[in-house]
Amino acid sequence: AQKVTQAQTEISVVEKEDVTLDCVYETRDTTYYLFWYKQPPSGELVFLIRRNSFDEQNEISGRYSWNFQKSTSSFNFTITASQVVDSAVYFCALSEAGGETSGSRLTFGEGTQLTVNP
Amino acid sequence: DTGVSQNPRHKITKRGQNVTFRCDPISEHNRLYWYRQTLGQGPEFLTYFQNEAQLEKSRLLSDRFSAERPKGSFSTLEIQRTEQGDSAMYLCASSSTTGAEYGYTFGSGTRLTVV
């Protein structure tokens, strides 16, 4: 069974601080995908990043960066120089690779509420 | 294409009534997923379709819930005899066949409140 744990329920920072959101996952699959989504108060899930299990290179996109470590089953997300607009709930999610006949459903963590104060 | 569309955005219903939600996926996507998200929790998988075939259902999908995807285009999710515990956000997502590899697109959800 797959499981995603986001131990930080809420984080509050002051604008311009760096913040790291933790994600630990469990899976028996050797091929899988990890995702981060942002959910602002309006409710839609906004895709941020997707990584496959064979690519452990860290990724940077503007102020966002991701650290994937298979050895610790972690896929952490760092926001550098946080801004008020970053305030949202962030979800880490895991999916098996799937294929032509298997579903590749997403298993989500419980989310981390990030509040960035001015 | 304007992405995944869900209607209505909000629905308030009395306990015991039936409700139906609609999801219009991205037209090129042959997979469609339904998730339920309760307050303070992450979305939980309910069911998914590949084209018109419903291929997997979660244990969360009780016999009061039914989903259809006629002709492999839009999908409907019906809840019969609603209960207060059904109050949640119902999210729809679509993807190509190998969803994990190419990603999922989510709609804005339908927020159900059962009073």
The predicted-structure confidence for A91-113, as pLDDT tens digits, reads as follows: 999 988 665 555 678 999 999 99
Q: Does B70 touch chain A (CB under 8 A)?
A: no
pLDDT range class, residue A16, cuts 50, 70, 90? very high
Q: What is the mean pLDDT of chain A?
A: 91
Secondary structure class of B112 (helix, strand, coil): strand
Q: Does B26 touch chain A (CB under 8 A)?
A: no
Alpha-carbon gap, residue A54 to A70, rounded angstroms:
9
Nearest CA in chain B to A51: B101
Residue-level pLDDT at A103: 62
Within 10 A of A2 (CB to CB), how many other CB atoms are there? 16
Residue-level pLDDT at B74: 96
Q: What is the mean pLDDT of residues A47-57?
A: 88
Alpha-carbon gap, residue A111 to A114, rounded angstroms:
9
Residue in B10, B106, B110, B111 to test binding to A, most A beta-carbons within 10 Å = B106
| More confident site: A27 or B102 | A27
Residue-level pLDDT at A44: 87
- Measured between beta carbons, the chain A residues lying within 8 angstroms of B40 are 110-111
- Residue B18's contacts (CB-CB under 8 Å, 6 or more residues apart) are B78, B79, B80, B81, B82
Residue-level pLDDT at B69: 96
pLDDT range class, residue A59, cuts 50, 70, 90? confident
Using CB atoms, which residue from A37, A97, A105 is nearest to B45? Answer: A105
Q: Do A4 and B42 touch (CB under 8 A)?
A: yes
Residue-level pLDDT at A1: 79
- Measured between beta carbons, the chain B residues lying within 8 angstroms of A47 are 103-106
In angstroms, what separates the C-alpha of B78 from chain A's closest C-alpha? Answer: 21
In angstroms, what separates the C-alpha of B18 from chain A's closest C-alpha? Answer: 24
Residue-level pLDDT at A90: 98
Residue in A44, A96, A110 to test binding to B, most B beta-carbons within 10 Å = A44
The predicted-structure confidence for B54-107, as pLDDT tens digits, reads as follows: 988 998 888 999 999 998 899 999 999 999 999 999 999 998 876 666 778 999
The predicted-structure confidence for B14-52, as pLDDT tens digits, reads as follows: 999 999 999 999 998 989 999 999 999 999 999 999 999
DSSP assignments along A46-95, one per residue: EEEEEEETT----EEETTEEEEEEGGGTEEEEEESS--GGG-EEEEEEEE
DSSP assignments along B25-60, one per residue: --TT--EEEEEEE-TTS--EEEEEEETTEEEEE-TT
Cross-strand bridge partners of residue A92: A36
| More confident site: A114 or A95 | A114
